[in-house]
A and B are shown apart, each in its own frame.
Chain A
Amino acid sequence: MAEKQAPVAKSSNFIKAVFAIAWKDLAAELRSRELLSAMLVFGMLVILIFNFALKLDAKTRITATSGILWVTFTFAGTLGLNRSMAVEKDRGCLDGLLLAPVDRSSIYFGKLLSNLAFMFIVEAIVLPLYSLLYNVNLFNPGLLLVILLGSVGYIAIGTLLSAMAVQTRTRDVMLPILLFPVIIPVVVAAVEASGGYLQGMDISELRYWINLLLVYDVIFIAIAFMVFDYVVEE
């Protein structure tokens, strides 16, 4: 019993914990598919509603596509974020994670990775589907870069706020109310940049938006990293 314990906060342990958390989320999800199916069905319904609400003819599509895509991702994303944190809270699993001798920020980065994976899976299905339905080519490297950067920023702050939201009395409605007002820069930049790429604009015209997304991603990952302790510890 008195075996020597390695120092607890070693970086290899940190990375191991991050991937263990992300892996168990993915393993559980690939089995139940509750979260992904909810996000996907919801996403498709949003597109369906836009189809009729905006009367998406060929002309409107050119300008509206990037907006529709990001509204879909944002809304479907909150479903996923909420569910992913609720799983931790429901059986007291968050306490289980907090009892482990790992740095708290490894919990944040683990959840960040799995949430990001869910987001990418949904996007990887919605994009080709949208291409097919509306005959728009969405396989544009610039667009994919914007989706990558936008999703990272969205999930970075969303993971932090969802950890707060599940610990409130009104947890089902709390996340979008907390999240939407602070992700407006991501939405503005992502919609503008995606629209620009789809209309074949030059990268030099869009670099401000890409920069803005990068700045947002870096700042909010840093902030979440710094304050996550206060969100999960009593």
Chain B
Amino acid sequence: MNKKPVILLVLDILSLVFLAVAAYLALSYAPMEATMGNVQKVFYFHVANAWVGMLGFISAGVAGIAYLRSGNPKWDIVEVAAVEISLVFFLIAILLGSIWARPAWNTWWTWEPRLTTAAITEMIYLAYFMLRNGIEDPNRRARFSAVYTLVGAVSVPITFMAIRLFRTIHPVVIGSQSAQAQGGFNMSPDMEVAFFFSLFTFTIIFADLFWHRIRLGNLANKTEELKLKVME
């Protein structure tokens, strides 16, 4: 555990190389989209980031359930790692979405279901960290976080449904129906290559970061343990 595993090192290198390739594919290889121009390129990374956010979200929920079932503190470390990664990647996805929305829909923000749900998920994550900060006892902290992760994991899909229902019923102020048309486009095969490669790359990056963060959590635990031993 103390020594960095070789596979992790390989993952590090792969992440960097693939990221460079993905950037090349998206920025240079994929053809310029006719109506939107350069801005459309954001799309390759926006979707990939949101995808990683989703992966983190699901991993956190699974880790939370695993913790409640087993009581093994390892799952708490996994859960925090997943939430942290998901928090950052959803934030990037929202920012990239804004950059895309500005020229496409003529606004920085729209109450589009996916965007809104991502924002609400971020609020749940912030609440999650405030909850953790407010509890001293590590067992209780782990239990409460796992419970809240579970509550969040169930409420987010329902929130998404509610907002979508809300959007389909309401007359649209900005975008939406027309925005779908404005933002939509058909991918050419070249674009598909760039798109799927980007998804693949960010999945690798997710695995790499996830592993690093779990390792960090374990090491932090170990230092704490050693500190306690010294103090006795």
Direct contact of A and B (CB under 8 A): yes
Give the B-binding residues of A (Cβ under 8 A): 157, 160-161, 164, 167-171, 174, 177-178, 180-185, 188-189, 192, 208-209, 212, 215-216, 219-220, 223, 227, 230-231, 234
Given A171-B134, A185-B158: 14 more A-B contacts, CB < 8 Å = A160-B147, A170-B130, A177-B127, A178-B127, A178-B131, A181-B127, A182-B155, A184-B162, A185-B162, A188-B165, A212-B158, A215-B158, A219-B158, A234-B139
Contact with A along B82-105 (1 / 0, CB 8 A): 000000000000000000000000
B143 touches A231 (CB 8 A): yes
* Interfacial chain B residues near A188, Cβ < 8 Å: 162-163, 165-166
A169 touches B162 (CB 8 A): no
**Cβ contacts A to B, 13 pairs, < 8 Å:** A161-B151, A164-B131, A168-B134, A180-B123, A181-B127, A182-B152, A185-B155, A185-B159, A188-B162, A212-B161, A212-B165, A220-B151, A220-B154
Contact with A along B169-195 (1 / 0, CB 8 A): 100000000000000000000000000
Q: Which of B135-154 contact A (CB under 8 A)?
A: 135-136, 139-140, 143-144, 146-148, 150-152, 154
Q: Whole-angstrom distance between the alpha carbons of A231 and B150 in the complex?
A: 13
Contact partner, A182, options B124, B126, B131, B139, Cβ 8 Å = B124
A182 touches B161 (CB 8 A): no
* Interfacial chain A residues near B148, Cβ < 8 Å: 161, 164, 178
* Interfacial chain A residues near B159, Cβ < 8 Å: 184-185
A227 touches B154 (CB 8 A): no
- Chain A min CB distance to B64 (Å): 10
Give the A-binding residues of B (Cβ under 8 A): 68, 120, 123-124, 126-127, 130-131, 133-136, 139-140, 143-144, 146-148, 150-152, 154-155, 158-159, 161-163, 165-166, 169
* Interfacial chain A residues near B134, Cβ < 8 Å: 168-171, 174
Q: Whole-angstrom distance between the alpha carbons of A65 and B136 in the complex?
A: 43
* Interfacial chain B residues near A174, Cβ < 8 Å: 130-131, 134
7 shortest interchain CB distances as A-B pairs: A168-B134, A185-B162, A182-B155, A181-B123, A170-B134, A188-B162, A169-B134
- Chain B min CB distance to A128 (Å): 29
Q: Whole-angstrom distance between the alpha carbons of A188 and B147 in the complex?
A: 24
Closest to B163 in A: A188
* Interfacial chain B residues near A209, Cβ < 8 Å: 165
* Interfacial chain B residues near A171, Cβ < 8 Å: 134
- Chain A min CB distance to B134 (Å): 3
B151 touches A192 (CB 8 A): no
* Interfacial chain B residues near A230, Cβ < 8 Å: 68, 143-144, 146-147
Closest to A173 in B: B130
- Chain A min CB distance to B142 (Å): 10
- Chain B min CB distance to A155 (Å): 14
* Interfacial chain B residues near A215, Cβ < 8 Å: 158
Contact partner, A169, options B126, B135, B169, Cβ 8 Å = B135
* Interfacial chain A residues near B146, Cβ < 8 Å: 230
Q: Using known A-B contacts A169-B134, A181-B120, A227-B68, determine if residue A212 contacts B151 with beta carbons closer than 8 Å.
A: no
Q: Using known A-B contacts A223-B151, A227-B68, determine if residue A192 contacts B120 with beta carbons closer than 8 Å.
A: no
